[in-house]
């Protein structure tokens, strides 16, 4: 469920897994206006849905509409997934953080969150999940830089003293000595200007990650790659967040295979094919 939602690549992902696991199901995009969200969620049970994923702009509002929210989602402050239980009650969880961390681990098996300071750019819903995941993985210091400082301060206040909130002007200098830099803003997404950042202070050994996956390589990642940094794009975050969703919906843990990744990449590079 999202608004808009028809651009979503999630049906391609989940329908690949339905086929692979031989389940007689289908995953459909549901374009739900914000004012219709409560009724749409309550209709899931009579319509026979096992659950839904939620995307912009529903992740926070939906949290107030479901019957139960798991502790991770409460801490992150948003839900990305709903499970419909047999009695029709709804449970919300947040799998974005799992998706982000497992994507980085699959791409960089030797990666450690505790290797050094991590710079997170942005303080929206995605950034919250990223920060929570990094802390869970043992990050000792997160430099959280956001255009609206108050939002970064809000995350720091909620998630703890390892997060240092800084104003947007500091973004270039924040990269000094960092082990990792993550773009969790919407800047660099198709239709948006590139993230405005100078990378000269980013150590060459640092990992650069983006949570955006349209385009697969954002200008931020291209600039980092061109100067010799290793990079991780956002597609795997989308792929990996689907695994815990399937676990709760169907008791199956599907794999993020090379074939699946190639299928998704092809649809992003040539969306009309
Ligand atoms: N790969 C995945 O599975 C996945 C999952 C979640 C999100 N995403 C992607 O991540 C991006 C962010 O999503 P979100 O849900 O976190 O969105 P969001 O809650 O709307 O947050 C957007 C963030 O971008 C910042 N921003 C917007 N315009 C900016 C500008 N001109 N200059 C600097 N910063 C700017 C915002 O700063 P302010 O606070 O100042 O407004 C905020 O920090 C989207 O592109 C989304 O598609 C990907």
Domains delineated in the chain: 10-94 (3.40.50.10860), 97-235 (3.40.50.720)
- Ligand 1 atom closest to the CA of 189, numbered from 1: 45
**pLDDT tens profile 50-87:** 999 999 999 999 999 999 999 999 999 999 999 999 99
Active site residues: 59
Please tell me the pTM assigned to this model.
0.95
CA 140 vs CA 12, 99, 164, 207, 231: distances in Å: 37, 20, 11, 16, 21
In terms of DSSP bridges, do strands 90-93 and 81-84 run parallel, antiparallel, or are they unpaired?
antiparallel
Q: Beta strands 118-121 and 142-146: pairing type?
A: parallel
pLDDT digits 0-9 by tens, 149-188: 999 999 999 999 999 999 999 999 999 999 999 999 999 9
Nearest Cα to Cα of residue 80 among 259, 244, 270, 254? 244
**Ligand 1 pocket member 213 (CB < 6 A):** yes
CA 127 / ligand 1 centre spacing (Å): 8
For ligand 1, is residue 103 a contact (CB within 6 Å)? no
Say if residue 81 is preceded by a cis peptide, omega within 30 of 0.
no
Query: Is 99 close to ligand 1, i.e. is its CB under 6 Å away?
Result: yes
Summarize pLDDT for 84-113 with one digit per residue, the tens: 999 999 999 999 999 999 999 999 999 999
- The residue whose CA is least distant from atom 24 of ligand 1 is 185
């Amino acid at each position: 469920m999202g608004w808009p939602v028809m651009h979503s690549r999630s049906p391609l992902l989940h329908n690949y897994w339905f086929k692979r696991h031989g389940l007689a199901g289908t995953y459909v995009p549901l374009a739900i206006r914000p004012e219709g969200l409560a009724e749409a969620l309550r209709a899931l049970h009579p319509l026979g849905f096992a659950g839904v994923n939620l995307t912009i702009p529903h992740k926070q509002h939906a949290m107030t509409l479901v019957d139960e929210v798991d502790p991770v989602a409460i801490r992150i402050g948003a839900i990305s997934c709903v499970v419909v239980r047999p009695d029709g009650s709804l449970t919300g969880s947040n799998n974005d953080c799992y998706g982000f961390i497992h994507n980085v681990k699959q791409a960089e098996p030797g990666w450690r969150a505790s290797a050094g300071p991590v710079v997170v750019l942005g303080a929206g819903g995605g950034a919250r999940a990223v920060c929570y995941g990094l802390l869970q993985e043992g990050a000792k210091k997160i430099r959280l830089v956001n255009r609206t400082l108050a939002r970064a301060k809000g995350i720091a206040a909620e998630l703890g003293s390892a997060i240092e909130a800084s104003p947007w002007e500091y973004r270039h200098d924040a990269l000094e000595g960092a082990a990792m830099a993550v773009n969790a803003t919407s800047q660099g997404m198709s239709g948006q200007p590139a993230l405005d950042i100078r990378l000269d202070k980013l150590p060459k050994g640092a990992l650069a990650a983006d949570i955006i996956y349209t385009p697969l390589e954002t200008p931020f990642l291209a600039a980092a790659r061109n100067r010799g940094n290793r990079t991780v794009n956002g597609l795997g975050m989308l792929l990996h967040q689907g695994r815990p969703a399937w676990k709760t919906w169907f008791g199956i843990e599907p794999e993020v295979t090379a074939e699946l990744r190639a299928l998704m990449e092809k649809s992003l590079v040539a969306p009309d094919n």
